[in-house]
Amino acid sequence: MSPMSDELTQLLEQAARTDDGLNKQNKITIIAWGGDLDRIWPTLILSTTAAASGMEASVFFTFWGLFTLVKPDVRITGDNWMQKMLSVMNPGNPSKAKLSRYHFAGAGPGMMKKLAKDYKTPLPSELLEMAQDMGVRLIPCQMTMDLLGLKPDDLIDGLREYVAASPLAAWHSALALAYAGLDQREQALEQVNWFAERGFESIRRDCVWMTSTTALARTIAHFNDATHADALYDLLAPFADRNSVVGGAVLCLGPVSRILGMLALTSGRPDTALAHFADALERSHALESAPLAARTQLDAAKAHLQRGAEGDRAAAEALLAEASATADALAMSVLQQDVRALRSALAEGAVA
């Protein structure tokens, strides 16, 4: 180990011996928010040193730090041009990381790696493997994954298993939504059933309750599985006039009324769904969020087609035209695919 690693080991061992009460909570959690070489390197040194000292070590990767967990052979990620551009500017995996200072067009990292080799210090990519072997919990931030367009398959192996074994509700709901994004029905609904067996009302009412509950709702709506739609609808109904936010409004996920509309549509109540979508569309415009508005228009089009009353087909086609125009303007490729799929089903008579 390097002198820095030896010093950290001594400090951690000293802290563990200092107080029996502290020793009962012999844990450390590190937040990795930066993806630069000189930020990831010390993070991995500290986490592996803590694990070697007998501590339960966890590293929570968020924002640019999340690219540390991207597989070495994955280069461009994301669905739209903005997400893809961010992935180009933030090369995945520690082996490609830049220095925050003295980068010198790549010469800086080269010198650091040469020094590491000379002084027998493990490289960040080696430390990452060591961390997994030593049982360090490497936790990807699902909200950042959604924001940056990262998929579970973009990340190194071994992360899903930890999330699946976790007792934390937020991780199971995020995993369910991630599987839904991959169209893996069985795995996604398995996570939903994890909550159903415990009772949806038992989800802890903390700062991520709304995020967890709406993620489950979006998952079952994606697969049009009505098994638990009414139970989730009843939980979210009191918040119909709210927006879903993460924590202290760190991130806005859109109107709760849109989620209620999705649940109502899943349980076969298009009239109720359309009322919720109308409210959600108004709120999305108030938020000045064109992506949310376009997604809501697609949802409302599905509700019109499910109802199948006079004028519903024309209303659906008008909504799809608006959603398609927004998808083109904002390079929302996934939304455009969904619009085309619904139009194709409509043309083939697969929907009423």
239: in domain:
no
Closest C-alpha among 112, 71, 114, 115 to residue 91: 71
Beta-carbon contacts of residue 183 (< 8 Å; ≥ 6 apart): none
In this prediction, residue 19 has a pLDDT band, given cuts at 50, 70 and 90, of: very low
Per-residue pLDDT reduced to its tens digit, 44-58: 888 888 888 778 888
136: in domain:
yes
Half-sphere CA count of 106, side-chain side, radius 13 A? 3
In this prediction, residue 241 has a pLDDT band, given cuts at 50, 70 and 90, of: very high
Residue 33 burial class via C-beta count within 10 angstroms: exposed 0-12, middle 13-18, buried 19 and up:
middle
Please count the other Cβ atoms lying within 10 Å of the Cβ belonging to residue 302: 24
Dist. CA 257–CA 300, nearest whole Å: 12
279: in domain:
no
345: in domain:
no
Range of the domain at 136: 1-163
295: in domain:
no
172: in domain:
no
Per-residue pLDDT reduced to its tens digit, 166-177: 556 677 787 788
Dist. CA 319–CA 222, nearest whole Å: 19
CATH number at residue 145: 3.40.1260.10
Comparing 21-30, 42-51, 135-144, 306-315, the range with the smallest average pLDDT is 21-30
332: in domain:
no
Dist. CA 140–CA 71, nearest whole Å: 13
Dist. CA 338–CA 58, nearest whole Å: 38
201: in domain:
no
Highest mean pLDDT among 6-15, 122-131, 180-189, 234-243: 234-243
Total domains in the fold of the chain: 1
Per-residue pLDDT reduced to its tens digit, 71-103: 877 777 777 877 777 776 666 666 666 666 666
